[in-house]
Amino acid sequence: MTLLEFQEFVRNICAYYERRIPNDHTLDLWYDRVRNIPYESVEWIKGRIFEQDTFPKNYPVAIWQLYQAWLEAHPEKRAPDRTQYSCPDCESGWLVLEKQLPQYSIPISHSAPCARCKQVKAANYMSLDDAVRNGYRRKDLVSEHTVQRQPIRELIESIGRPVPDPAAM
Ligand SMILES: [Zn+2]
């Protein structure tokens, strides 16, 4: 927030509690400690301060603590980390792909920065549509994980090789 926004903020709080407004030097010192707090959180912080019975003893510390509480209440504001952005095409910014090539029995894996959300920094991006046009398909991480938890008997049957049944021995 700017110094002017901060002064207005303090003036509001002081008026509410019928306190004398601190002198400019004190305000400057306080402002140094809270300048990095974004102005969009100020109304919320002010509301919490008004809920308290007394004027905060250590004003900058009180503001920082409330700002932390505001961040907890608004995790999406935790700038600049935006890797949690949920995109329907990718996993945290990466297209996770595979491609079946005739010479291999299992598909090759490939990944590329997602052009839809661009949440990872990269020189080149690939869209899921382009990937599909180039013969890739999106790797289904959820169902492939399920395959690993398949019952052992189904796995054996899927291999198609007879295995001695321990119960019949
Ligand atoms: Zn994406």
Per-residue pLDDT tens over the stretch 105-137: 989 999 999 998 888 888 899 999 999 999 999
- Return the pLDDT at 83: 45
- Separation of 65 CA from ligand 1 center, angstroms? 34
Query: Mean pLDDT over residues 44-51, rounded?
Result: 92
Does pLDDT of 147 surpass 90?
no
- Mean pLDDT score of the chain: 83
Q: At what angle do helices 24-34 and 3-17 cross, to 10 degrees?
A: 110
Distance 112 CA to ligand 1 centre (A): 10
CA of 82 to the centre of ligand 1 (A): 12
Q: How far is the CA of 132 from the centre of ligand 1 (A)?
A: 15
pLDDT beyond 80 at 59:
yes
Q: How many CB atoms lie within 10 A of CB 120?
A: 15
Q: What is the mean pLDDT of residues 14-33?
A: 91
pLDDT-derived band at 13, boundaries 50, 70, 90: very high
What average pLDDT does range 86-114 have in this prediction? 90
Enumerate residues 6+ apart whose C-beta is below 8 A from 13. 19, 46, 49, 55, 56, 59
Confidence of residue 160 (pLDDT cuts 50, 70, 90): low
| Neighbour order of strands in the sheet with 94-99 | 108-113, 94-99, 137-138
pTM: 0.46
Q: How far apart are CA 52 and CA 63, in angstroms?
A: 13
How high is the pLDDT of residue 82? 47
| Dist. CA 72 → ligand 1 center (Å) | 25
Residue 88 CA to ligand 1 center (angstroms) comes to: 6
Ligand 1 center–CA 24 separation, angstroms: 48
